[in-house]
Amino acid sequence: MPEPGEHAAPAEAAPAKRGRLNAFRRLYGGHPAHVLLLLASFAFAGYAVVRWLQAPTPVRLFVWFAAAVIGHDLVAFPVYTAIDRLLSRVILGADAASASAASLRWRRAALNHIRIPSMLSALLFVMWYPLILRRSQNVYFAASGAHQNRYLGNWLLAVGILFGGSLLIFLARLVRAKGRSRSDASPPQS
pLDDT tens, position by position, 68-108: 889 888 998 999 899 999 988 888 876 666 667 777 888 88
HEC-encoded secondary structure of the chain: CCCCCCCCCHHHHHHHHHHHHHHHHHHHCCCHHHHHHHHHHHHHHHHHHHHHHCCCCHHHHHHHHHHHHHHHHHHHHHHHHHHHHHHHHHHHCCCCCCCCHHHHHHHHHHHHHHHHHHHHHHHHHHHHHHHHCCCCHHHHHHHHCCCCHHHHHHHHHHHHHHHHHHHHHHHHHHHHHHHCCHHHCCCCCC
Domain boundaries, the chain: 1-54, 93-184
pTM: 0.59
CA atoms within 13 A on the CB side of 10: 0
Q: Which band of pLDDT confidence, cut at 50, 70 and 90, is reported for residue 116?
A: very high
Q: What is the pLDDT of residues 26-50, one digit of tens each?
A: 888 888 888 899 999 999 999 988 8
